[in-house]
């Protein structure tokens, strides 16, 4: 209860802020977008991991406040980058409960207009598990988000139900292959062969459905070259960049010209 109250305070202050992890075009190597990742710097505890405080927020219904805060900070940063002549897309993670919030599409629309953001610049990431929890309601809400022009990505693909049959019914634009598959690409055992086979199948299916494919957790040049060969579109991971400050992303963008 104490920690919930403190999280509430943290969200009203600079304690809760965003880091940004670039998404790289695997062919050109250019940064095409970023994923916003929430951070909480607690005055006594120091950095609290998002796995912990997102769970706390989910269990105490503060997840809606966190979601609004993250969306607001993300759109504000997009506005700032635009002022600096930088055009990126920004992905924001949402939890399952937020997908049940009927007010979410209107809130997002109000942010787009407040910060003068084009809808194509914003993306929403949701896990399969979050979508499948209440699939009809999820689809209805995602349709409203898509109607605003915002793209939706399925996060951690391959770890949930992996309901391939649902993929073409979901109003989504891309899928993110979970890093457990990507991490096996570096191995010398038969696991690598399995991961390759799975990734090839996911990419083939996704591209047939006109979905973009992002590989998560790319840590080595070897994994990168496998993913290029397997025709993944984008990569994200420590090899390219850790989650970092907006200023650092700006510097990297300037550097790539």
Contact residues for Mn ion (CB under 5 A)? 155-156, 216
* Contacting range for ligand G; rule: CB under 6 A; set: 50-58, 77-85, 195-203, 227-235: 50-58
Nearer to Na ion, 6 or 128 (CB): 128
184-223 residues in contact with ligand G (CB under 6 A) are: 216-219
Determine if 93 is a binding residue for ligand G (CB under 6 A). yes
Q: What is the β-pairing status of strands 16-25 and 234-235?
A: antiparallel
Q: CB of residue 85 vs ligand G: minimum separation in angstroms?
A: 26
Q: CB of residue 113 vs Mn ion: minimum separation in angstroms?
A: 29
Determine if 93 is a binding residue for Na ion (CB under 5 A). yes
CA distance 213 to 204: 10
Nearer to Na ion, 6 or 130 (CB): 130
Determine if 155 is a binding residue for Na ion (CB under 5 A). yes
Which partner from the list Mn ion, Na ion, ligand G, none does 245 bind, CB cut-off 5 to 8 Å by kind? none
Determine if 54 is a binding residue for ligand G (CB under 6 A). yes
* Contacting range for Na ion; rule: CB under 5 A; set: 19-27, 87-95, 102-110, 185-193: 87-95
Determine if 50 is a binding residue for ligand G (CB under 6 A). yes
193-222 residues in contact with Na ion (CB under 5 A) are: none
Q: CB of residue 111 vs ligand G: minimum separation in angstroms?
A: 14
Which partner from the list Mn ion, ligand G, Na ion, none does 124 bind, CB cut-off 5 to 8 Å by kind? none
* Contacting range for Na ion; rule: CB under 5 A; set: 43-51, 88-96, 132-140, 203-211: 88-96
Name residue, tokens 């250019």: 30
Residue number with the shortest CB distance to ligand G?
A: 237
Nearer to ligand G, 81 or 157 (CB): 157
Q: Which of 144, 83, 142, 79 has the alpha carbon at shortest distance from 112? A: 79
3-state secondary structure the chain: CHHHHHHHHHHHCCCEEEEEEEEEECCCCCEEEEEEEEEEEECCCEEECHHHHHHHHHHCCCHHHHHHHHHHHHHHHHHHHHHCCCCCEEEEECCHHHHHCCCHHHHHHHHHHHCCCCHHHEEEEEEHHHHHCCHHHHHHHHHHHHHCCCEEEEEEECCCCCCHHHHCCCCCCEEEECHHHHHHCCCCCHHHHHHHHHHHHHHHHHHHCCCEEEECCCCCHHHHHHHHHCCCCEECCCCCCCCECHHHHHHHHHHHC
* Contacting range for ligand G; rule: CB under 6 A; set: 3-11, 48-56, 185-193, 245-253: 48-56
Q: Which of 71, 72, 85 has the alpha carbon at shortest distance from 124? A: 71
Site for Na ion, rule CB under 5 A: 93, 125, 155
């Amino acid at each position: 209860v104490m920690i919930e109250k403190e999280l509430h305070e943290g969200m009203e202050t600079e304690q809760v802020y965003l880091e940004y992890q670039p998404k790289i075009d695997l062919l050109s190597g250019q940064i095409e977008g970023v994923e916003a990742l929430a951070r909480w710097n607690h005055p006594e505890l120091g950095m609290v991991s998002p796995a912990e405080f997102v769970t706390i927020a989910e269990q105490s219904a503060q997840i809606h406040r966190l979601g609004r805060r993250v969306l607001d900070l993300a759109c504000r940063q997009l506005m700032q980058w635009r002022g600096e002549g930088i055009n990126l897309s920004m992905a924001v993670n949402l939890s399952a409960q937020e997908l049940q919030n009927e007010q979410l599409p209107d809130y997002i629309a109000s942010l787009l207009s407040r910060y003068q953001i084009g809808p194509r610049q914003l993306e929403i990431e949701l896990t399969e598990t979050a979508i499948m929890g209440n699939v009809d309601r999820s689809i209805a809400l995602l349709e409203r988000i898509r109607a605003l022009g915002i793209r939706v990505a399925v996060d951690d693909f391959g770890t949930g139900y992996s309901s391939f049959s649902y993929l073409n019914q979901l109003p989504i634009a891309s899928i993110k292959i979970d890093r457990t598959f990507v991490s096996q690409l570096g191995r010398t055992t038969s696991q690598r062969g399995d991961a390759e086979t799975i990734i090839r199948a996911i990419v083939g299916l996704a591209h047939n459905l006109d979905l973009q494919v992002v590989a998560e957790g790319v840590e080595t040049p070897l994994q990168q070259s496998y993913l290029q060969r397997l025709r993944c579109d984008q990569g994200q991971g420590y090899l390219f960049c850790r989650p970092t400050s907006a200023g650092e992303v700006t510097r990297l963008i300037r550097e790539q010209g």
